[in-house]
Structure 1
Amino acid sequence: MFLVCGEALFDIFVDGNAEISSTQLSLDAVAGGSPFNVAIGLARLKQPVALLSGVSEDFLGQRLMAVLEREGVATEHIASKALPTTLSFIQKDDEGVPDYAFYGNGAADRAVLPQDLPEDATFSGIHVGSYSIVTPPTSESLLSLIWKHSRKCLISLDPNVRLNVEPNKDIWRERVALIAKHADLLKISDEDFGHLYPEIAFEDKVTEWLGLGISLVVLTKGGDGAQLWSQTDTASVATPKIVVADTVGAGDTFQTSLIDQLLTMREASSDWSAQLNAQKLQEIGKFAATAAAITCSRQGADLPNREEILAAQ
């Protein structure tokens, strides 16, 4: 069982074409949150997966639970909380790029406590990311979980920076540094890298991260593709040409696909990381870029299944 850790919320899509002075605004709510999306994406790829999160007892939380159960995501590590559900408001620009506003202070997904963590369970891997790694007490609980399982399973990190949740970049940098020491996979977008390390060349940071023992470092660059580095090789992949509906969930899809590919390699060989040569990096990157492009061709974070990805390659 692979364990995805972090927020579960509702994305509220705002009609950006509405007159700005109008007293009425059309809204469209969709279950989401970066870790929530990753968990569902892995389930659609037929990977056994569970979500660890705080979920509200309110009617929105009940809907989140129903979605997870419908998608085949295990829920035994969900902590039920008498707290509200986080709401993430999203307004897209003309190119489908989202702008976020979060309303989640005191919400259930930010209230995961040490006693909510699994005690004796073993996992094929653990993924953490987004604002759950910087919002206590959830952030401290997840860090202790990573320490406990370090080098025992595949550890995955996507910072997925949300400065409107935690504007202090030093906190983000500190937490990324702490988790990176234990990670096997680190994926970061060029936008997030620019936020956190504006004065550092990416190649220098890659050298630092690989020096920690990370097996795969990935930089995604939106329409300009992605670059992948292993301990021995590097490869670049292009973004497939599509008609973009929006880019919501693109990074989550890329992350999901990377996890899926590494889990498959890890199941086949204990020496999986040594097999990440240039050809394998290209193969993994193409699979992930194709999956992300499919998500971008659809409204919202609607992640593809394996058959869709293979048919599109």
Structure 2
Amino acid sequence: MTTPASPLLVIGECVADIVRTDGAPDRVHPGGSPANLAYGLARLGRPAVLLTELGPDANGKLIRSHLESAGVEVRAAEVARTPSAVVRLDGQGRPEYTFDIGWTLPPTELTAAPAAIHLGSIGAVTEPGAAAVLALVERWRDRAQVSYDPNVRPALMGERVEAVRRVERCVALSDLVKASDEDLAWLYPGEPVEAVAERWLTLGPAVVAVTLGAEGAFALTADGRRERAAAVPVTVADTVGAGDSFMAAFLHARAAGTDLAGCLTAAVTAAALTVSRPGANPPSAAELAVALGEGAGVSPKA
């Protein structure tokens, strides 16, 4: 009999994405980077627990139902209303957000060490809830692998110098960090992304991965390895949730013992499947397996 994999604990926000298009009624989609990641992990067959906040409103019920439909265990502190974001898509399918979000996660205790912990986005840097997130990670990081995705939202990050300080604190707590080139461009204007990734490695992570949109992704390790994967060519519906699908597939592959090149290949393929259809709709394990079997457009390089 196969022993079920231990759950990965994801900590962070849920957001109701209100997609607004001129001449059409609003469409509400479950969102929030940590929630998307937990959903993506569950779709790939990796048990996931999401520690978050939800309101008792219709948006909260929609998000909970969505997450639980994939098998995510939702542990949500109740807040007055579920966070939301109005999303407008530009001509390339890239989202622009207007947020109505608070993050007040109370101090939380765990009864047992999770297999791994993921933190990121608004929940990792927005007070007062960020203090509870970081305290939890600091208590358990010696017994669980920690991953982090800053998923920068400039409208919510405040003054840049302080934002960099908060992000780098999270980087220093983590074993694996993933960021986009857009994240790094906002945090460190004008700096080459590989130089930033190399500097982040000196803060403590074993692996730093950077997504480059249509240029694919690369990963660097503390022991000097470098891997690249080209993007998988697809027709883009929109890019919502692409980075979260990338991270979910990377974490899933890494937990299965896949080497760094294989993790990147799985991650860029999952991201491609997600951008090929509307919304944060990550692939199932079967869909990803089929896409990886074809191997089109993926070319890991040393």
Q: Does 1:113 align with 2:106?
A: yes
* Distance (Å, rounded) in 1 between the aligned partners of 2:61 and 2:194: 44
* Distance (Å, rounded) in 2 between the aligned partners of 1:119 and 1:309: 32
Residue of 282, 294, 302 corresponding to 1:303: 282
Residue of 218, 222, 226 corresponding to 1:234: 226
Residue of 82, 86, 89 corresponding to 2:83: 86
What is the Cα deviation at residue 139 of structure 1? Answer: 0.8
What is the Cα deviation at residue 239 of structure 1? Answer: 0.6
Task: Determine the structure 1 residue equivalent to 2:17.
Answer: 11
Residue of 187, 210, 213 corresponding to 1:219: 210
Do the aligned partners of 1:134 and 1:171 also contact (CA within 8 Å) in 2? no
Amino acid paired to 2:39: I
SS, match of residue 232 in structure 1: coil
Do the aligned partners of 1:98 and 1:247 also contact (CA within 8 Å) in 2? yes
What is the Cα deviation at residue 248 of structure 1? Answer: 0.4
SS, match of residue 227 in structure 2: strand
Task: Determine the structure 1 residue equivalent to 2:3.
Answer: none
Matches within 5 A, 1:2-151: 2-16=8-22, 18=23, 26-75=25-74, 77-81=75-79, 83-104=80-101, 107=102, 110-114=103-107, 117-151=108-142
Task: Determine the structure 1 residue equivalent to 2:238.
Answer: 246
Do the aligned partners of 1:261 and 1:284 also contact (CA within 8 Å) in 2? yes
Task: Determine the structure 2 residue equivalent to 1:186.
Answer: 177
Task: Determine the structure 1 residue equivalent to 2:296.
Answer: none
Task: Determine the structure 1 residue equivalent to 2:158.
Answer: 167
Q: Does 1:156 align with 2:154?
A: no
- State the number of aligned residues: 285
| RMSD (Å), alpha carbons | 1.5
* Distance (Å, rounded) in 2 between the aligned partners of 1:127 and 1:119: 14
SS, match of residue 12 in structure 1: strand
SS, match of residue 271 in structure 2: helix
Do the aligned partners of 1:155 and 1:185 also contact (CA within 8 Å) in 2? yes
What is the Cα deviation at residue 208 of structure 1? Answer: 2.4
Amino acid paired to 2:277: R
Task: Determine the structure 1 residue equivalent to 2:4.
Answer: none
Do the aligned partners of 1:11 and 1:88 also contact (CA within 8 Å) in 2? yes
Q: Deviations over 1:274-309 (max 9, x none)?
A: xx8xxx322111110000000000100001011111
Do the aligned partners of 2:184 and 2:196 also contact (CA within 8 Å) in 1? no
What is the Cα deviation at residue 170 of structure 1? Answer: 2.3
SS, match of residue 73 in structure 2: coil
* Distance (Å, rounded) in 2 between the aligned partners of 1:229 and 1:9: 31
* Distance (Å, rounded) in 1 between the aligned partners of 2:186 and 2:252: 27
* Distance (Å, rounded) in 2 between the aligned partners of 1:11 and 1:91: 10
Do the aligned partners of 2:148 and 2:176 also contact (CA within 8 Å) in 1? yes
* Distance (Å, rounded) in 1 between the aligned partners of 2:233 and 2:197: 28
Do the aligned partners of 2:53 and 2:82 also contact (CA within 8 Å) in 1? no
Amino acid paired to 1:254: F
* Distance (Å, rounded) in 2 between the aligned partners of 1:244 and 1:122: 39
Q: TM-score, structure 1 length as denominator?
A: 0.87
What is the Cα deviation at residue 171 of structure 1? Answer: 2.9
Question: Which 4+ runs in 1 deviate beyond 6 A?
Answer: none
Do the aligned partners of 2:198 and 2:220 also contact (CA within 8 Å) in 1? no
What is the Cα deviation at residue 201 of structure 1? Answer: 3.1
What is the Cα deviation at residue 121 of structure 1? Answer: 2.4
* Distance (Å, rounded) in 1 between the aligned partners of 2:113 and 2:45: 19
Q: Deviations over 1:108-152 (max 9, x none)?
A: xx11011xx133221011111111122111111111111111131
Amino acid paired to 2:284: N
Do the aligned partners of 1:151 and 1:182 also contact (CA within 8 Å) in 2? no
